[in-house]
Amino acid sequence: MQASAPGLAVLPILAEQAHGDVKYATNVVTTSTVLFVIVIPIIMVLIQGI
């Protein structure tokens, strides 16, 4: 999971180069980063409970 996190960071750059929707790409990166911070601790607690 940690290895995939930096991959999304370049999404807005790639969207700009391809003349895509940079604002949407930035929102995707922001949302996924916030969810990553919230969901990973929950998963770790659940795994330790098994």
Binned at pLDDT 50, 70 and 90, residue 2 comes out as low
pTM here is 0.71
Q: How far apart are the first and last CA of the chain?
A: 20
pLDDT digits (tens, 9 = 90+) for 4-50: 566 788 899 999 999 999 999 999 988 888 888 888 889 889 999 77
Q: Can you tell me the distance from the alpha carbon of 39 to that of 43, in angstroms, rounded to the nearest whole number?
A: 6
Compute φ and ψ for 46, nearest 5 degrees.
-65, -40
Output the DSSP codes for 10-39: THHHHHHHTT--HHHHHHHHHHHHHHHHHH
- Give the residue extent of every domain in the chain: 5-48
The count of other CB atoms within 10 Å of the CB of residue 37 is: 9
